[in-house]
Structure 1
Amino acid sequence: MKRLAIFLAGAALALGLCGSVAAQSARIPVVAAENFYADVVKQLGGERVQVTSILNNPDEDPHLFEASPKTARALQHAALVVYNGADYDPWMEKLLAVSKGEKRTTIVVANLVGRKSGDNPHLWYDPATMPAVAKAVSGYLVQADPAHKSDYDARLATFLASLKTIDDRVASLHAHYKGVPVTATEPVFGYMADAIGFEMRNLRFQLAAMNETEPSASDIAAFEKDLRERRVHVLIYNSQATEGLTKRMLKLSKDWHVPSVSVTETLPAGKTFQQWMLAQLDALSGALQGWQQ
């Protein structure tokens, strides 16, 4: 983040020299800050959209991302920009302020679902989020390219129908594991855990980890006690942020035979959003099998 202010002036000059946006190609240029939103746009737009995503690497911690002039250039000709908001990708607002897109439309996911600064920013794990995103994106595509409305409408219907498989899986987990105590190293999976109905423990520890502050000694001790005494049925961890304390808790979970499940903040290569969600829910279901309420 520290480097952002240094290059903003240069990026502004470079973008200003570009003048007016070149004539739009046959495909609608879209930039999505996160690659799972990019995947949704691709599913909704097909060959009629050209989508660029900024956060792509599932092996890197998204919180450590630093914007660069290349990121600014990606926004230069975007007709549509989609980003998370709720302080998850604050560099987007600064870049958009530099890039003067005259006819650019911006969709901030947090605004769609009524979330704000201070809320859990991992909005894509809330089952209610992607239907809202899909409808907003599809609405834009129809407005921008009305000649292909029937195709966009069909793609939206297909996408929304495909989410039912995720909803059904969540409902099944809710039926079997509502009230089951679990824990996590960060609140990445928080909205999905709420939808399933888990009793989520060690929230103060999780918030400290997410905000890159040190959990208190008492919070660390409580987390370790939950694992050592097997008070929780599964440990959910962010595999893109495996710092010292996360590794420590993973070792304890292994030592005390508490199953652990990995979740990520970035869509893995070669998967759609739906496949990604289902794979993680399946892993969670497998970890919980054998536990009795």
Structure 2
Amino acid sequence: MRKRHYIQGSASTLILGLAMLLLLAGCGKGQANGIAEGKVNVVTSFYPIYEFAKAIGGEEANVINLLPTGVEPHDWTPRSQDILNTSKAQLFFYNGAGLEGWVPNFLKGLGNDSTVKTVEVSQGIELIYTDEDDGHGHGEAAEEEHDEDHGHEAGNEEHDHDHAATHIDPHTWVSPKSAKIMAENMKNSFIEADPAHQANYEARYKELTEKLDALDAKFTSELEGMSKKEIVVSHQAFGYLCRDYGLTQHAIMGLSPDAEPRGQDLVKLSKLVKEEGIQYIFFEELVSDRLAKTLASEAGVETMVLNPVEGLTKEQEKAGDNYFTLMEKNLQNLKLALQ
């Protein structure tokens, strides 16, 4: 009996030991995804905000990105652990403009004792309104906020410009010009949360904006001489880029990459491709390229990637890609398509 008790005790000790090892291994692996003492803890809603926050926050910040690698952000929803981490953080950065439809309920779940400051980093950008309805309600939350901010005064026709029938394009970060405004909002929030390290945040912000300015100048100089100005994309994610660099996008799908187009829309786009001499249909890596390839086949043209930089694939992460390398590739592909 004593021997049996000893074996059972050893087994229990072994199981407990293995559990502790797994727990420690999990803690080591997930440190970047948990709250860190002595740092400004920042939770970001998706990849480009994460990259900019890390660049500005530097060693003073612990930045946690909610969206996993390889996941498209439009219809992602957070888990309970995400809510827990955010409730303990100092800052929560999200894009806004209707991109993250889950944010209102997410914020309600943080609890009354949470002191996290919520920052909509697209504030200050001149937003683009579109009549494209993707069926997912993207842009509607921002639309309501916009209307609340401006009010609805009786007889004031200036604000009555069919906003009820429009949606906000949330893809602000795809233009370096808009990305600069987002970066400034983040920098100001870091300084407010941690004024003791203001000089460090200012210096890193300056370094980031110099890179964004250089990228902006390159897009301007290299696209202004292109003979063509029309592009056909799978997902209507390039409105800000097109507005800032004199291009026009024609999208197979709406603001959401999984919105299904109507048959007549595809016929119309196929006709446009042939009439305008367009040689490439752009698609993106994080969603299916089925419709882009269907349209390209119908129109007798090729497909090519134009990346909305909503997130990295696992291959891109492994290769060390980032916002700037992906935007450089976008520029080269645009030049090839527009020549």
TM interval, short-chain normalised: 0.7 to 0.9
The alpha-carbon deviation at position 178 of structure 1 amounts to 6.6
Deviations 1:239-275 (A, max 9, x none): 222164233124446xx24452331421442333222
**Amino acid in the other structure paired with 1:277:** M
Partner of 1:239: 285
Match of 1:260 among 286, 304, 329: 304
Q: How does 1:138-149 map to 2 (within 5 A)?
A: 138-149=187-198
Partner of 1:30: 42
Partner of 1:151: 200
In structure 2, distance between residues paired with 1:229 and 1:136 = 43
In structure 2, distance between residues paired with 1:192 and 1:114 = 13
Identity over aligned pairs, percent: 21
In structure 2, distance between residues paired with 1:68 and 1:41 = 21
Partner of 2:66: 54
* Residue pair 2:43, 2:92 contacting (<8 A) in 1 also: yes
In structure 2, distance between residues paired with 1:72 and 1:124 = 24
**Amino acid in the other structure paired with 2:216:** D
Deviations 1:57-90 (A, max 9, x none): 23x3323323221222231211100111122111
Gaps of 5+ in 2: 1-34, 128-141, 144-166
Q: Please state whether the residue corresponding to 2:283 is helix, strand or coil.
A: strand
In structure 1, distance between residues paired with 2:274 and 2:198 = 57
The alpha-carbon deviation at position 126 of structure 1 amounts to 2.6
* Residue pair 1:82, 1:107 contacting (<8 A) in 2 also: yes
TM-score (ref. length: structure 1): 0.79
In structure 1, distance between residues paired with 2:68 and 2:219 = 26
Instruction: Point out the structure with max Rg over C-alpha.
Output: 2
The alpha-carbon deviation at position 282 of structure 1 amounts to 2.2
Residue 205 of structure 2 corresponds to residue 193 of structure 1: no
Q: Please state whether the residue corresponding to 2:232 is helix, strand or coil.
A: strand
* Residue pair 2:253, 2:259 contacting (<8 A) in 1 also: no
Partner of 1:184: 233
Q: How does 1:99-248 map to 2 (within 5 A)?
A: 99-100=110-111, 102-115=114-127, 116-117=142-143, 118-177=167-226, 180-201=229-250, 203=251, 205-207=252-254, 210=256, 212-228=258-274, 231-242=277-288, 244-248=290-294
Q: 1:181 to 1:129 in 2, by over 3 A?
A: closer
In structure 1, distance between residues paired with 2:325 and 2:236 = 21
Q: 1:287 to 1:232 in 2, by over 3 A?
A: closer
Q: 1:211 to 1:150 in 2, by over 3 A?
A: closer
In structure 1, distance between residues paired with 2:230 and 2:118 = 39
Q: Please state whether the residue corresponding to 1:282 is helix, strand or coil.
A: helix
TM-score (ref. length: structure 2): 0.69
Match of 2:91 among 63, 67, 80: 80
* Residue pair 1:55, 1:62 contacting (<8 A) in 2 also: yes
Residue 103 of structure 2 corresponds to residue 92 of structure 1: yes
In structure 2, distance between residues paired with 1:194 and 1:184 = 15
The alpha-carbon deviation at position 99 of structure 1 amounts to 0.2
What is the aligned-residue RMSD (CA, Å)?
2.5
* Residue pair 1:259, 1:287 contacting (<8 A) in 2 also: no
The alpha-carbon deviation at position 279 of structure 1 amounts to 2.4
Partner of 2:74: 63
* Residue pair 2:175, 2:244 contacting (<8 A) in 1 also: yes
The alpha-carbon deviation at position 228 of structure 1 amounts to 4.7
The total of aligned residue pairs comes to: 261
Q: 1:149 to 1:62 in 2, by over 3 A?
A: closer
